Amino acid sequence: MKVRVLGILSVIAVLIVVTVSSVILTSAARELTQDVQINRVSALNRFAQLANDASADGDTTQLQREMDRYTELYGEGILIRLQQQTLASGGLSEQRRDVQDALARASLNLSDTTIGTVRPFESGTEVISRSFGTASQVLGEAVLEVNLDAARAKLRERWVVVGLAALVMGAVLLLVAARLTGWVLRPVHRLSEAVHQLETTGKTSKLPEAGPPELRELSRSFSAMANTVSESMESQRQLIADTSHQLRNPVGALRLRIDLLQLELQNSPAKAAAAGVVDELERVEEMLDGVLKLATAEHRAVAGAAAAQSSEHRRQSVIDPFPVLQGEVERAGPAARLAGSTITLEDHSGPALELRCDPEELAQMVGELLANAIKYSPGGHIAVAAEATRDGLAIEVSDDGPGLYADQRLASTSRFWRAPQHSGIPGNGLGLTIVERLAEANGGKLVLRERVPHGLIGRLEFGGGANG
């Protein structure tokens, strides 16, 4: 944005400099032309008067002497045509076309004393003319050659001066434009970064009040709004965590009372009803556990994004993920056998893998993916693998169960989302959401893919901090 704004201001600055320079140079050319014209017309009038006197006296000696002296001083020719003879100095010939035209106009008593505007890089001379005599009779014509080289040289000198001044003025305007652009856009850039930071992390630092008054007011308003939003989001997260935690006590007490009540029940229908209540309590406890895990994962995701935004990355140790995967596979073994499934951990034959990630959170992510695979692919085969990628490292948990459709895979990380075909299977719809948030907290992402010919692949991709 700064480049675009500075480019526009630069074009405007160049136009201003060019316009001002053109006006100054045009004025200088007109001034020099006017000076030359006034001077030469005065000289032409003097020679016309001398020629008129010489015509009356019949003696042209003094006139010729004055003409030769003028030519010697100024290097310009003069031609005077009397009724009896023609006088010339400086080699000005009556045969020249421009001189003939000037004499013809003067013979008609038409004075031509106008000089064209001086141009710095032109060459050649011009002629001016006038007649002399009485009011009723033209006695002769006077033609003066005007050499504009001196005026052109002065104009070129002014061009150099104006050009240098234009360069200095342009540089000053560009510098002012750059400073002005930075002064105006710096708060805009800070505001853009703060919006991105608020969107990513839910928090942002206070914006400095700088720039034009409107932007300073905007920065103050945004800082106040960001603080309100951050406090609201933090309050919501804390409310969820506190509520989930506080509900565990009454749920636990209720479960204890039902357990005591079951000891007093004698008939089968009552015992079956109590067992149904216990199942619902277990579901509530599972839901509370999931909400607490999700609140922790989202807090970690926000904290990880904030650390990345401020370049203060969490100092996680570089770990070998294979022992973590092995531990989770062993931990999930009993549940898999109970469901009739098998789990295998594929060996990695290459160099030792390294991953910058919290080992406990990695174990939680892999554990959730394994629990999902066991739950939704009973009697199937589950494979766990880790591999080095071009950008880092990836961990896959795949199963050969029914899998999910493409639109369902996109929606599966939403809170409490359950696939319609799996509605009869117990669950709270938070597992993949927790995995996604924890992956984000550790600089990775969760990618769900279809397994051919059927099944689901949960892939944790980590970049930058992993290598093989």
Instruction: Give the pLDDT score at 344.
Output: 92
Residue 163: φ, ψ to 5°: -60, -45
Alpha carbon distances (Å) from 296 to 311, 418, 466: 22, 21, 24
For residue 308, the model assigns a pLDDT of: 57
Cβ atoms within 10 Å, residue 230 = 16
- Cross-strand pairs, 381: 342
Instruction: Tell me the Ramachandran region of residue 205: left when phi exceeds 0, alpha when psi lies from -120 to 50, beta otherwise.
Output: beta
Distances (CA, A) of 350 to 287, 347, 354, 403, 467: 41, 9, 12, 30, 11
The amino acid at 146: V
Q: Are 366 and 328 in contact (CB under 8 A)?
A: yes
The answer to whether 328 and 370 are in contact (CB under 8 A) is yes
Q: What angle do CA 393, 203, 460 make, to 5 degrees?
A: 15
Rounded to whole angstroms, the Cα distance separating 354 from 8 reads 50
Supply the pTM of this predicted model.
0.50
What is the model's pLDDT at position 333? 92
- As a whole number of angstroms, the distance between CA 174 and CA 460 comes to 51
CA 216 to chain centre: 21
Helix 431-441 vs helix 268-309: crossing angle, to nearest 10: 20
The token pair at 400 is 């050969």
Which segments in the chain show pLDDT lower than 50? Answer: 311-315, 466-468
Through-space distance between the first and last CA atoms of the chain, rounded to whole angstroms: 40
Does 453 sit behind a cis peptide bond, omega within 30 degrees of 0 on the bond before it?
Answer: yes
Largest CA distance in the chain: 162
Cβ atoms of 368 and 431 closer than 8 Å: yes
Whose structure tokens read 């104009």? 155
Q: Which of 373, 426, 423, 422 is nearest to 401 (CA)?
A: 373
At 413, phi and psi to the nearest 5? -90, 5
Instruction: In whole angstroms, give the CA distance from residue 174 to residue 180.
Output: 10
Residue 380 CA to residue 336 CA, distance in Å, equals 9
Q: Give all strands (DSSP E) within 313-390, no chain letters.
A: 318-319, 342-345, 354-356, 381-388
Helices (H), 202-320: 213-264, 268-309
Nearest to 426 by CA among 344, 350, 335, 362: 335
Whether 366 contacts 384, CB under 8 Å: yes
Q: How far apart (Å, rounded) are the C-alpha atoms in residues 310 and 306?
A: 6
Residue type, 404: L
292-310 tens-digit pLDDT: 777 777 666 666 655 555 5
Q: Which residues contact 451 (CB under 8 A, 6 or more apart)?
A: 398, 399, 400, 403, 457
Nearest to 216 by CA among 181, 248, 183: 183
Q: What is the pLDDT of residue 301?
A: 64
Note whether 262 and 268 are within 8 A (CB).
no
**What is the three-class DSSP state of 275?**
helix
Q: Measure the CA–CA gap between 461 and 468, rounded to whole angstroms.
A: 13
What is residue 306's predicted lDDT score, i.e. its pLDDT? Answer: 55
Look-up of token digits 């421009």? 98
What's the pLDDT at 66?
93
> Could you give the domains of the chain?
2-155 (3.30.450.20), 213-309 (1.10.287.130), 318-467 (3.30.565.10)
Nearest CA to 382 out of 327, 343, 329 is that of 343
CA–CA dist 283, 266 (Å, integer): 25
Query: 367, 329 in Cβ contact below 8 A?
Result: no
> At residue 241, what is the residue type?
A
> For the segment 386-424, what is each residue's pLDDT rounded down to a tens digit?
988 888 899 999 999 888 888 988 988 888 888 888 877
